[in-house]
C-alpha cells in the first residue's frame, strides 16, 4: 500500500491509546452493569498505565440504559484514585448542553462530542440533523473550554453508514474542516461499522493531514470485518498517534446494526509494543482488565490476545 510504504520517518514518535470500553464497549450490551461494576472496570484499567479512559456517557437513561448513573461511576472512581500519584484522565460522552453541564458537575477531565458524516445516522443517534448538531457544536466546545475540560469530537460513519452506505471521503473532509473551524481540538474519525480498509483509511486521511498535519486526528476503529489492525498500520504510516480501542473487543453501536466489536485494546497494545510503541502500558494488566470484563458480562470476548493468553494458561494447567 502506498500509505504503509511511506518512510518510517513519517510515523509518530509516540502513540497513545484512548480506552472506550466503559462507554462504547458497554452501550450495546444486553446486560447492564451496575455503577459499582463499571467503576471496578475503570479502576482495573487505571492500573495499566493508560492516560485516558472514557468512563461513561451523560445521555438520557431511556436512550442507553446501560450507561445510566455515570455520575455515580465517576464519583466512585474519583474517590478510589484520590491518592493516585498520576491518575488517568477521565472522559465522558455528552450529546448536548444538558449532558455537558452534568459532566462538568461530575468533575470529569474531558468530554467527547458527537456528529456523523451521515445525516441519517445523526438523526438515528441523537434525534437531530447534522446541521442542527453543528449549530450547537461551537457553543459546546466553548463551554467545555471555559470549564477547562479537554474536548474531542467523534466523527462517526466517516467511511460507511448502515443507512446511507458508502460515504464519499470529500463528505467527511468537509465536515472535518467545519469542526476544526469551530475550534474542535481533536477529531476521532470513526469507522463505525468496520467497513474500512487501508485504502479507504488512506483516502480519508491524506487530504486532511496534508493540510493540517496528523495532530488533530485520532482513529476510532471497529474490527467487525477483521481489518482494524491493518487500518492502524495505515494510520501510523500517516503519522496518527492516537487510537481508540476497547478492552476485550467489547462494543458496537446501538444505532448501527451489525457494528459489533471495537478494536480490542489488548490486540492493539500487543502490536504497538512489538513495534516499539506504548511500552509504559502494561499488557499483563490489560489482559487482567479483559478477564474482568469477561466475568462481569458472563461471556467470552473476541480479543485475540485475551483468548491466546487464556489458551496458554489452560495448556499449562493440563501439563502440570
Catalogue the active-site residues: 253
For 193, residues 6+ apart whose C-beta sits below 8 A from its C-beta are 157, 159, 160, 161, 162, 222, 224, 256, 258, 259
CA angle 226, 240, 126 (to 5 degrees): 70
The CA distance from 233 to 238, in Å, is: 9
DSSP for 71-86, please give it: HHHHHHHHHHTTT-SS
Residue 89 and residue 150 in contact, taking contact as beta carbons nearer than 8 Å? yes
Grid cell listed for 265: 485494546
Burial of 168 per CB tally in 10 Å (0-12, 13-18, 19+): exposed
- How far is residue 49's CA from residue 63's CA, in Å, rounded to a whole number? 32
Q: CA-CA distance, 6 to 3, in Å (whole number)?
A: 6
> If we measure between CA atoms, which residue out of 275, 273, 269 comes closest to residue 288?
269
- Classify 59 in phi/psi space as left (phi over 0), alpha (psi -120 to 50) or beta: beta
Local structure of 166: helix, strand or coil: strand
Please give the span between the terminal C-alpha atoms of the chain, in angstroms, as a whole number: 46
Residue 227 exposure: Cα atoms within 13 Å on the Cβ side: 15
Amino acid at each position: 500500500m502506498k500509505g504503509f510504504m511511506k518512510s518510517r520517518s513519517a510515523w509518530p514518535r509516540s502513540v497513545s491509546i484512548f480506552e472506550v470500553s466503559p462507554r462504547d464497549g458497554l452501550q450495546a450490551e444486553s446486560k447492564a452493569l451496575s455503577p459499582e461494576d463499571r467503576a471496578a472496570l475503570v479502576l482495573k484499567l487505571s492500573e495499566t498505565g493508560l492516560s485516558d479512559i472514557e468512563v461513561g456517557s451523560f445521555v438520557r437513561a431511556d436512550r442507553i440504559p446501560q450507561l445510566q448513573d455515570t455520575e455515580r461511576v465517576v464519583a466512585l472512581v474519583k474517590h478510589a484514585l484520590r491518592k493516585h500519584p498520576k491518575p488517568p484522565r477521565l472522559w465522558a460522552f455528552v450529546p448536548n448542553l444538558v449532558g455537558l453541564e452534568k459532566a462538568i458537575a461530575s468533575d470529569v477531565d474531558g468530554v467527547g462530542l458527537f456528529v456523523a458524516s451521515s445525516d441519517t445516522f445523526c438523526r438515528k443517534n441523537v434525534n437531530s440533523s447534522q446541521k442542527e448538531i453543528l449549530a450547537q457544536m461551537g457553543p459546546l466546545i466553548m463551554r467545555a473550554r471555559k470549564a477547562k475540560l479537554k474536548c474531542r469530537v467523534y466523527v462517526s460513519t466517516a467511511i460507511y453508514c448502515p443507512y446511507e452506505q458508502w460515504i464519499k471521503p470529500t463528505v467527511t473532509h468537509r465536515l472535518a474542516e467545519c469542526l476544526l473551524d469551530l475550534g474542535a481540538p481533536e477529531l476521532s474519525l470513526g469507522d463505525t461499522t468496520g467497513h474500512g480498509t487501508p485504502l479507504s483509511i488512506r483516502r480519508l486521511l491524506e487530504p486532511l493531514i496534508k493540510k493540517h498535519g496528523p495532530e488533530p486526528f485520532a482513529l476510532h476503529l471497529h474490527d467487525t470485518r477483521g481489518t482494524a489492525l491493518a487500518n492502524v498500520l495505515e494510520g501510523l504510516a500517516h503519522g496518527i498517534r492516537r487510537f481508540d480501542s476497547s478492552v476485550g473487543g467489547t462494543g458496537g453501536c446501538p444505532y448501527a446494526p451489525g457494528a459489533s466489536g471495537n478494536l480490542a485494546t489488548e490486540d492493539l497494545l500487543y502490536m504497538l509494543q512489538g513495534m516499539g510503541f506504548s511500552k509504559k502500558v502494561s499488557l499483563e494488566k490489560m489482559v487482567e482488565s479483559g478477564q474482568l470484563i469477561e466475568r462481569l458480562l458472563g461471556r467470552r470476548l473476541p480479543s485475540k490476545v485475551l483468548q491466546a493468553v487464556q489458551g496458554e494458561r489452560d495448556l499449562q494447567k493440563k501439563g502440570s
